[in-house]
Amino acid sequence: MIPRTLKPEGAPKAKNAGTGFTGNRSRDVRSLTPEEIQERVQELGSWFHNLNLRGVFTAPNHFLGNYPENKFRAFADAIPRDLTGKTVLDIGCNAGFYSIEMKRRGADRVVAIDFDDCYLAQAQFAAEMCDADVEFQKLSVYDVATLGEKFDVVIFMGVLYHLRHPLLALDLIHEHVAKDLLIFQSMQRGAEEVEPLAEDYDFWVQDIFDHPGFPKLHFIEKKYSGDPTNWWIPNRACTEAMLRSAGFEILEHPEQEVFVCRWQPSASRDNPVYPAAG
């Protein structure tokens, strides 16, 4: 699981979506000693991404091990190795692991958004340390329309279950920022099986809802894993159904929680998407 990466509920909209995040920049990072790097890492608070910054690890005691590198290895080959000429949007970028990796793969432009100032400061420092030209913006997933453009690759990992309105978020991504590939990940709980379903069921058919492979989105009223921002956790069938409903064709399922999807014209019923802000 991944902790809160966006704080969209009741949060103000970014005043200027075209203005990149500007945190406290350190001096030229090329001149920092390992001791100074370690000091800066500690100043930036608790890290969830364990990044290797010139031999200094940001979260060496991570409860998931060398995360997210260990998870990424399971689906790295599902993302094009050469992203030359492509644009990437990383939604809920946290400390920037995936944004930096996309630049390493040659992406022409990477835009990374989050609504947590701490994560954005960490990501900016990490990108500087890795000499990765990433544009950071403080922005909620619900306001992605203000970006005013669509991207070849959209990364939406570790965010869905922190949202009070998860399907709306997928609809907004489909409508306003996705152009081709979506790299999606969510924590999942419940059955792993996916049951083939009929197009419709009679009003009196009730047992289908108790089948393990029926799509279920579990609501967390209070906390899960000590985190009050864990709101909805899908089972696998629900994850797949929500992606299809929002207009994404599932191409690959390379890791238990990861789905590689392609944008398709949405055939869903009256998707409640917001228009781009004027």
Q: How far apart are CA 65 and CA 276, in angstroms?
A: 40
Instruction: State residue 247 phi and psi, 5-degree precision.
Output: 105, 25
- Residue found by looking up tokens 């403080």 in the block: 138
Place of tokens 């990940």: 185
CATH architecture for residues 82-263: 3-Layer(aba) Sandwich (3.40)
Residue 266 has a pLDDT of 73
Q: Which residues contact 30 (CB under 8 A, 6 or more apart)?
A: none
Task: Find the range with the poorest average confidence among 13-17, 68-72, 178-182, 201-205.
Answer: 13-17
- Prior bond of 60 cis (ω within 30°): no
pLDDT at res. 272: 57
**Residues 145/175, Cβ–Cβ less than 8 Å:** yes
Q: How far apart are CA 199 and CA 192, in angstroms?
A: 21
Average pLDDT, the chain: 89
Q: What is the reported pLDDT for 16?
A: 34
Cβ partners under 8 Å of residue 216, min gap 6: 190, 234, 235, 237, 238
Structure-token pair, residue 118: 């701490």
100: buried, middle or exposed (CB in 10 Å: 19+, 13-18, 0-12)?
Answer: buried
Residues ≥6 apart with Cβ < 8 Å to 102: 83, 88, 90, 110, 153, 155
Whether 206 has a pLDDT exceeding 80, the answer reads yes
pLDDT band at 270 (very low <50, low <70, confident <90, very high): low
pLDDT at 13 over 70: no
d(CA 145, CA 168) in angstroms, rounded, equals 13
Of 27-36, 160-169, 237-246, give the lowest mean pLDDT range. Answer: 27-36
| Cα–Cα distance measured from residue 169 to residue 172, given in angstroms and rounded to the nearest whole number | 5
Structural domain spans, the chain:
82-263
Task: Return the structure tokens found at 188.
Answer: 């999942």
pLDDT tens, position by position, 129-182: 999 999 999 999 999 999 999 999 999 999 999 999 999 999 999 999 999 999
Q: What tokens does 226 get?
A: 């000590």
Angle at 132 between CA 60 and CA 25, to 5 degrees: 75
